[in-house]
Structure 1
Amino acid sequence: MGLLVKDVVQLSVMETAKVKTGKDFLSEKQVEWISVIEVPVENFVRKNEFVLSTGIGCEDDPILLEKFVQDVIDSGATALAFATGRYIYDIPDRVLQLAEQHNFILIDIPWEVRFGDILQMVLQEINEDKQAGREQAEGVRQELINCVLQGKGLQEISELLFVHTKLPIAVIDETKTLRAKRSFDQEIIDALDQAAQWQKIPPSEVSYSDHPLYHHIEEFIINNKTCFQLSIMSNHSKQGYLLFQVDDRQQLNWFVMNVLEHALTACALYFVKENAIELTEIRLRDNFLLNLAKNHTEVTNQILSKAQLLGYDLSRPYLCIVGDIRFKDDTTNSQHTKDRPRTSSLQSMNYYFQKEITNAGNLLNRKTMTTFDEGEVIIFLEADHIPYMETSNQFLDIIERRLHELLTGIYTSWGIAAHKDGHYVFHESYEEARTALEIGMKQKGNGERTFFSDTRINRLLMALSHDTDIADIVKDTIQPLIQYDKKRQTDLIYTFMIYNKYKGNVSQTARALNLHRQSLLHRLRNIESLTQLSLVDSDDLFLLELSVRLWMLKKME
Structure 2
Amino acid sequence: MGGGLLGLTVRDVIQLPVLETSKIKSGKRYLDLKKIDWISVIEVPVENFVRKNEFVLSTGIGCEDDPILLERFVKDVIEAGASVLAFATGRYIYDIPERVIQLASHYDFVILEIPWEVRFGDILHSVLEEITNDKRWERQQAEGVRQELIDCVLQEKGLQDISNILYKRIKIPNAIIDFSGSTRANSHFNRNLLNIMSGKIEGQHQQIPQLDLFTDHPLSHYMEEFMVDHHMCFQLTISSNHNKQGYLLIQPKERQELTWFVMNVLEHALTACALYFVKENAIEMTEVRLRDNFILNLTKNNTEVTNQLISKGQLLGYDLTRPYICIVGEIKKDSDLNKTKRKDRPPTSSLQSMNYYIQKEITKAGDVLHRRTMASFEEGEVVIFLEADHQPYMETANQFLDLVEKRLNDLLSDITLSWGIATHKDGHYAFFDSFKEAKTALEIGKQESGYGGRTFFSDTRINRLLMTLSEEKEIESIVKDTIQPLIDYDQKRKADLIYTFIVYNKYKGNVSQTARALNLHRQSLLHRLRNIESLTQLSLVDSDDLFLLELSVRLWMLKKNNDKQ
What range describes the TM-score normalised by the shorter chain of this pair?
0.7 to 0.9
Matched, 1:283 2:289: yes
Determine the structure 2 residue equivalent to 1:316: 322
Report which stretch shifted further, 377-386 or 209-218: 377-386
Deviations 1:123-155 (A, max 9, x none): 122112112211111111111111112121111
Shift, 1:293, TM fit: 1.4
In the alignment, which of 211, 220, 226 is matched to residue 217 of structure 2? Answer: 211
Partners of 1:480 and 1:383 in 2: CA distance: 42
**Aligned equivalents of 1:99 and 1:146: distance in 2?**
47
1:247 aligns with 2:253: yes
Look up the match of 2:397.
395
| Structure 1 residues 188-267: aligned runs within 5 Å | 188-192=193-197, 193=199, 194=201, 197-204=204-211, 206-267=212-273
Alpha-carbon offset, residue 258 of structure 1:
0.8
Change (3 A) 1:488 1:139: closer
Any gaps of 5 or more consecutive residues in structure 1? 466-470, 495-512, 525-534, 536-548
Superposition pairs for residues 121-520 of structure 1, below 5 Å?
121-192=126-197, 193=199, 194=201, 197-204=204-211, 206-323=212-329, 331=336, 333=338, 335-336=340-341, 340-341=345-346, 366-385=371-390, 390-392=392-394, 395-396=397-398, 399=401, 412=418, 414=420, 416=422, 418-422=424-428, 424-431=429-436, 433-434=438-439, 449-451=456-458, 454=461, 474=474, 482=481
Equivalent position SS for 1:427: helix
> Aligned partners of 1:481, 1:95: CA distance in 2, in Å?
102
* Contact 1:278–1:344, Cα closer than 8 Å, also in 2: no
TM-score calculated relative to the size of structure 2: 0.71
Q: Quick check: 1:323–1:412 contact (8 Å CA) kept in 2?
A: yes
Q: Distance in 2 between matches of 1:95 and 1:274?
A: 59
Change (3 A) 1:227 1:345: farther
CA distance in 2, matches of 1:445, 1:167: 53
Distance 1:60 1:553, change over 3 A: closer
What's the offset of the Cα at 1:399? Answer: 3.5
Is the Cα contact below 8 Å between 1:275 and 1:344 reproduced in 2? no
Which residue does 1:79 correspond to in 2? Answer: 84
Compute the displacement of 1:363 (Å). 7.4
Q: Deviations over 1:281-334 (max 9, x none)?
A: 22222211101212244434453344334332212022434455668x992556
CA deviation after TM superposition for structure 1 residue 236, in Å:
2.3
Say whether the 8 Å CA contact 2:485–2:535 is kept in structure 1.
no
Contact preservation (8 Å) 1:320, 1:419: no
Is contact 2:438-2:456 (8 Å) kept?
Answer: no
The separation in 2 between residues aligned to 1:104 and 1:98, in whole angstroms, is: 11
**Structure 2 SS opposite 1:179:** strand
Equivalent position SS for 2:341: helix
After superposition, give the CA deviation of every residue in 1:100-123 in whole Å (9 maximum; x if it has no partner).
Answer: 664624132333x33223212321
**Which structure has the bigger radius of gyration?**
1
Q: Distance in 1 between matches of 2:30 and 2:345?
A: 54
Bigger shift: 286-295 or 360-369?
360-369
Check the 8 A contact 1:41/1:71 in 2, yes or no.
yes
Q: 1:109 aligns with which of 115, 137, 141?
A: 115
Q: 1:259 to 1:412 in 2, by over 3 A?
A: closer
Do the aligned partners of 1:439 and 1:458 also contact (CA within 8 Å) in 2?
A: no
TM-aligned CA distance change 1:84 to 1:151, over 3 Å:
same
Paired with 1:514 and 1:67, the residues of 2 have a C-alpha distance of 94
Q: What is the letter of the counterpart of residue 234 of structure 2?
A: F
Q: Which amino acid aligns with 2:133?
A: E
| Equivalent in the alignment of 1:497 | none
Distance 1:94 1:411 in 2: 73
Distance 1:488 1:267 in 2: 63
Change (3 A) 1:441 1:451: farther
Local SS of the residue matching 1:336: coil
Pair 363,332 (structure 1): closer, same or farther in 2 beyond 3 Å: farther
Aligned residue number for residue 40 of structure 2: 35
CA contact (8 A) 2:329 2:417 kept: no
CA RMSD of aligned residues (A): 5.0
Q: Is the 8 A contact 1:218 1:230 kept in 2?
A: yes
Q: Is the 8 A contact 1:154 1:171 kept in 2?
A: yes
Q: Deviations over 1:405-426 (max 9, x none)?
A: 959995846363641223x432
How far apart in 2 are the matches of 1:442 and 1:70?
76
Residues 355/444 of structure 1: CA separation in 2 closer, same or farther (3 Å cut): same
- Does structure 2 retain, via aligned residues, the 8 Å contact 1:415–1:438? no
Q: Are the aligned partners of 2:150 and 2:272 in contact in 1 as well (CA < 8 Å)? A: yes
Selected match of 1:58 from 56, 63, 74: 63
One-letter amino acid matched to 1:371: S
Post-superposition shift, 1:463?
13
- 1:21 counterpart = 2:28: no
Deviations 1:442-496 (A, max 9, x none): 899987544499599969968996xxxxx7xx59x95998599679979xxx9xx
Residue range with higher mean Cα deviation, 248-257 or 88-97 = 88-97
Runs of 5+ consecutive residues of structure 2 not aligned to the other structure: 490-497, 499-527, 545-553
**1:215 aligned partner, one-letter code:** H
Q: Distance in 2 between matches of 1:419 and 1:286?
A: 21
Do the aligned residues in 1 keep the contact of 2:203 with 2:228 (CA within 8 Å)?
A: no
Report the CA distance between 1:57 and its aligned residue: 2.0
Instruction: Give the Cα–Cα distance (whole angstroms) in 2 for the partners of residues 291 and 58 of structure 1.
Output: 89
**Percent of aligned positions that are identical:** 54
